[in-house]
Amino acid sequence: MAENIVNNDIIKEENLVYKKTDLLTDKSLSYCPGCGHGTAHRLVMEVVEELNAQDQTVGIAPVGCSVLAYEFMDIDMQQAAHGRAPALATAIKRLYPEKYVFTYQGDGDLAAIGTAETIHACNRGENITIIFVNNGIYGMTGGQMAPTTLPGMRSSTSPYGREVESMGAPMKMTELVAQLPGTYFVTRQAVHTPSAVRKAKKAIKKAFENQKLKKGLSFVEIVSNCNSGWKMTPVKSNEWMVDNMFPFYPIGDIKVPEE
Amino acid sequence: MAKVKGAIVVDIEKCKGCEVCIPACPTDVILLAEDVNGKGYHYAYMANPDACTGCANCAIVCPDGVITVYRKKVNS
């Protein structure tokens, strides 16, 4: 423990630069070490804190690794049936139009079982925010192939790599929903480096602020790692993500509202 | 000349030793400790505290939000 006692002149309240937001509870996150979900949770809560909207925000937790998001986010949360988070968010937003409503979903939830709900919520242009964490695999159930799994990528149900001929090509949900007239702001971000995290936070903040404009749905994809599912160390999985995921899922804004 | 010095405090029991903070640090301050915490993870600590500038990069990428950052101007 002695290593952590450093210069006591620096560690003082007035010199504080950064600490975990109070909107995350003190519970230990249930995610694997190095998982991007933790960073994504923190960014969403930091944005809610900056908007000063702790009591004005309703989050929808999905089914998947982030099913316990309501344990970690200290705001009003509702857990939805598998894939149905956008439908539930629609209902909550229509009942409470002044509240910030967001869904937090993984790729198995949003891009597989919940494809219909996602596309129709986007098409109707509900004034909600969708946070889509894409790691190209079903993490919670043991690393099975997801619709977003890359061609040739190994998973527990495609042990020789995904064959596009028999298993289909991966689905780019974010590009798909950008085609729909109901979406207002569509972007793809990542949380593997400090600069990427800062950009992702800006995008999430914009996506939340857009709800007040009532111009349509804001969709933020966060390309993340799944080091357990990919069978790599966290740092190696981030490097693999840069080399393999980013060429297929390029980072950047896809649909930006015209000024 | 005024110099900026920083320090980090790691919540040892919540650190999962994922090492994501280590490549994020521009001045190579952080390493994993030889010791383990209650869960059996090697936790992050300041191996080279003199080099820390308090940039908060490590805290920003930490998935579990266990790092608190302090920064102070010192006259050398």
N-term to C-term CA, chain A:
54
pTM over 0.90: yes
Please state the rounded mean pLDDT for residues A7-19: 86
* Side chain identity at residue B27, one-letter code: T
Question: Is it the case that residue A173 has pLDDT exceeding 80?
Answer: yes
- Please report, for the domain that includes residue A160, its CATH number: 3.40.50.970
B29-43 confidence digits (pLDDT tens): 999 999 999 999 999
Residue A12 belongs to some domain of the structure: no
Please state the rounded mean pLDDT for residues A117-135: 96
**Interface residues on B facing A, Cβ-Cβ cutoff 8 A:** 5-7, 9-10, 12, 14, 16-20, 22-24, 33, 41, 45-47, 49, 54, 56-57, 59-72
| Angle between the N-to-C axes of helices A115-124 and A85-95, in degrees from 0 to 180, rounded to the nearest 10 | 30
**CA–CA separation, B49 and B72 (whole Å):** 13
pLDDT at residue B76 in the model: 63
A191: chain B residues, CB-CB within 8 Å: 61
Please indicate if any CB of chain B lies within 8 Å of the CB of A34: yes
* Other CB atoms within 10 A of residue A244 CB: 15
Residue A35 belongs to some domain of the structure: yes
Minimum mean pLDDT range among A52-56, A206-210, B71-75: B71-75
- Please report, for the domain that includes residue B60, its CATH number: 3.30.70.20
A163 within 8 A of A171, measured Cβ to Cβ: no
Confidence bin at B75 (pLDDT 50/70/90)? confident
**CA–CA separation, B17 and B43 (whole Å):** 5
Residue A11 belongs to some domain of the structure: no
pLDDT at residue A3 in the model: 44
A21-45 confidence digits (pLDDT tens): 999 999 999 999 999 999 999 999 9
Question: Is it the case that residue B74 has pLDDT exceeding 90?
Answer: no
A3: chain B residues, CB-CB within 8 Å: 33, 45-47
Please indicate if any CB of chain B lies within 8 Å of the CB of A149: no
Question: Is it the case that residue A235 has pLDDT exceeding 70?
Answer: yes
Please state the rounded mean pLDDT for residues B18-37: 95
Question: Is it the case that residue B45 has pLDDT exceeding 50?
Answer: yes
Of B18, B61, B67, the CB nearest to A197: B61
- Is the ipTM beyond the 0.90 threshold? yes
Residue A241 belongs to some domain of the structure: yes
Question: Is it the case that residue A75 has pLDDT exceeding 60?
Answer: yes
pLDDT at residue A252 in the model: 95
A155 within 8 A of A149, measured Cβ to Cβ: yes
pLDDT mean across residues, chain A: 93
Instruction: Supply the DSSP string of B16-65, one letter for each residue.
Output: ----THHHH-TT--EEEEEEE-TTSPEEEEESSGGG-----HHHHH-TT-
pLDDT at residue A5 in the model: 47
Question: Is it the case that residue A253 has pLDDT exceeding 60?
Answer: yes
Full domain range(s) for residue A52: 30-255
Number of domains in chain B: 1
pLDDT at residue B18 in the model: 95
Full domain range(s) for residue B31: 2-75
Number of domains in chain A: 1
pLDDT at residue A50 in the model: 96
Question: Is it the case that residue A6 has pLDDT exceeding 60?
Answer: no
| Buried b or exposed e, range A4-15, using 16+ CB within 10 angstroms | bebbeebbeeeb
**CA–CA separation, B57 and A219 (whole Å):** 26
pLDDT at residue A258 in the model: 77
Nearest-by-CA chain A residue for B58? A194
The angle at the Cα of B59, spanning A8 to A186, to the nearest 5 degrees, equals: 155
